[in-house]
Amino acid sequence: MSQNPLSGIETPFSKLMGIRYPIIAAPMFLVSNEDLVVEASEAGGIGTFPSLNYRPPEKFHEALVNIKKRTSKPVGVNIIVNKSNPRQEGDLKMALDAGVELFITSLGSPKRVIEEAHKNGAKVFCDVTQLEFAKKVQDLGADGVIAVGAGAGGHAGPVSPLVLVPWLKTELRIPIIAAGGISHGSQIAACLALGAAGVSVGTRFIASREAGVDASYKQAVIGATPEDIVMTTRVSGTPAAVINTEYVQKLGTDLPWLLKALKNNPKTKKYVVPLIHLMGMKSLEESALKPSWKTVWSAGQSVGLIDDILSVTEIYQKLVREYQEAKVGLP
């Protein structure tokens, strides 16, 4: 049976957001730029980016204006909602004023974002790695959760998506987006079969023409295997997935004992956590934009399924074709 490879994929998430495909181009530090966001939304998915990709805040405002000029399709912004991010209030207001349709929250309480976004009719999906927090954000009024499982780039969760998605599905009333290790259309079919209403794809878009990172980062993603991905607390103090370069091996994957002690001390935690985040962001920025031997490249286990650099539009088309083929191939 032949199918149009570009036919839409309708799910509760695609209907909620008014998009053709329930595929989020995940917000990635430094990677997700204006071009990537616009092209993802224009391709039928939804492009998203971290507000902190643009510093100072005036640059964030400029990016919002440019993106909204270039596409009338929905776009999303990721806001870090813990105390290490002093910009969250200002960034939220700017994004709402610009008409952003989707907010993705991470690393803290989304209460304020949910309250303000809903006044604008915007939707809020919260990163979760466990049931307890998923229930909390549901009670706060979140429109959905992004279930970040093992295999994800950045701050990956410990539970396999094969377990995390159906587990959350049995306990929640709101839509679930699967995240972690997804870079092939067959995985999208699997996630939807597990009960997900969509997927969040990150690492695949690092190896895109539009991604605003150095060519060596893109080649590292193409050349890496799942075994090359390790978890480290050196970047942000929270376990994060990176490619195991020689520098990462030399650095080690645990915080130095002094920083760890200060981070765990209630009296010093509020000062040390922002410092760790700042140092980690600086390290990632230097590696992504002007690599030296000191390379810390964030990526997930899906590197093993990525072997070329394509445009964002081509990536979406490829994912949808693979999804359709996987559905047809099921017994």
What is the rounded CA–CA span in Å between residue 199 and residue 193? 12
Specify the pLDDT at position 85: 82
Specify the pLDDT at position 272: 46
What is the rounded CA–CA span in Å between residue 57 and residue 61? 6
What is the rounded CA–CA span in Å between residue 322 and residue 282? 37
Specify the pLDDT at position 129: 92
Among 22, 53, 64, 61, CA closest to 40 = 22
Neighbours of 105 (CB within 10 A): 28
Specify the pLDDT at position 96: 97
DSSP string, 136-200: HHHHHT-SEEEEE-TT-SBS--SS-HHHHHHHHHHH-SS-EEEESS--SHHHHHHHHHHT-SEEE
Specify the pLDDT at position 140: 97
- Please report, for residues 18, 143, 173, 235, 297, the alpha-carbon distance to residue 241 in angstroms, rounded to integers and kept in the order given: 32, 27, 30, 9, 9
The whole-model pTM stands at: 0.86
Specify the pLDDT at position 55: 86
Structural element, H or E, at residue 106? strand 102-106
Structural element, H or E, at residue 280? helix 269-289
What is the rounded CA–CA span in Å between residue 273 and residue 295? 22
Tell me the pLDDT of the chain (331 aa) as tens digits.
334 446 899 999 999 999 999 999 999 988 999 999 999 999 999 999 999 999 889 999 999 999 999 999 999 999 998 877 889 999 999 999 999 999 999 988 999 999 999 999 999 999 999 999 999 999 999 999 999 999 998 778 889 999 999 999 999 999 999 999 999 999 999 999 999 999 999 999 999 999 988 899 999 999 999 999 988 775 555 678 889 888 777 665 554 444 445 445 665 555 445 544 555 555 544 444 454 435 778 899 999 999 999 999 999 999 999 999 999 988 7
What is the rounded CA–CA span in Å between residue 216 and residue 173? 43
Rg (CA), the chain: 19
DSSP string, 208-274: BSS--S-HHHHHHHHH--GGGEEEESTTTSS-EEEE--HHHHHH-SS--HHHHHHHH-TTTHHHHHH
Burial 240-268 (b: 16+ CB within 10 A, else e): bbbbbbebbeebebebeeebeebbeeeee
As a 3-state breakdown, the chain gives helix, strand, coil percent values, each rounded to 5, of 50, 15, 35
Domains of the chain: 12-212+305-329 (3.20.20.70), 225-301 (no CATH)
